Amino acid sequence: MKHTRALYPGSFDPITNGHIYIAERAAAVFDELEVSVLINPQKQSTFTTEERCEMAKEALAHLPNVTVNHFGGLLVDYMKQQKFRVIIRGLRAMSDFEYEFQTALMNRQLSPDIETFFIVTEARYSYISSNAVRDIYRFGAVVPGMVPPIVERKLREKFHRSE
């Protein structure tokens, strides 16, 4: 029997309940899943790579076949280096599709051995994004059920809210 491994890359700035749900579904299908946090020197992130990894590790600790790592440079190069063939990406709405379609084709052009698998989320997660979550906490609002407790704590710390 084949041992199947997949990589779920992203910015995870921060990881949300929507990401966790995608990781849970991928982890139920593949033997091994690596959630890999992008180190992107071009893009200013709210949380450092270490913080993003730490939050993801804690939020995914209930999944024994999931590990958290980080990568820089081209995704396909990292995948070749680590011997991954499958990329997992979540789809929330049609608006995600254009970017994901283009990226999947680009990655396939760069490395034809690599396959992108999409997991369509559920309606209850379809409106959650890291961007929206950051704004909500930055401006002092709280919406339950969007992020795991570790992320909620870190967001409050980051934006200096004590309650």
**Using rule CB under 6 A, residue 46 touches ligand PNS:** no
Among 49, 67, 69, 103, binds ligand PNS (CB under 6 A): 103
Active site residues: 19, 43, 92, 130
Among 106, 120, 132, 142, binds ligand PNS (CB under 6 A): 106
Six-digit token string for 142: 């709280």
Q: Give the Cα-Cα-Cα angle 120, 123, 129 (nearest 5 degrees).
A: 80
Number of residues that bind ligand PNS (CB under 6 A): 9
Nearer to ligand PNS, 99 or 161 (CB): 99
Among 8, 9, 23, 68, binds ligand PNS (CB under 6 A): 9
Per-position b or e across 131-152, b if 16+ CB within 10 A of its CB: eebbebbeeeeeeeebbbebbb
**Using rule CB under 6 A, residue 105 touches ligand PNS:** no
Q: How far apart are CA 69 and CA 48, in angstroms?
A: 13
Question: How many CB atoms sit inside 10 A of residue 119's CB?
Answer: 16
Q: Which residues pair with 78 in a beta bridge?
A: none
Pick the stretch among 8-16, 47-55, 58-66, 154-162 that binds ligand PNS (CB under 6 A): 8-16
What part of residues 107-136 is at the interface with ligand PNS (CB under 6 A)? 107
Q: Which residues pair with 33 in a beta bridge?
A: 6, 66
**Using rule CB under 6 A, residue 11 touches ligand PNS:** yes
Single-letter residue type at 66: V
Residues that bind ligand PNS (CB under 6 A): 9-11, 38, 74-75, 103, 106-107
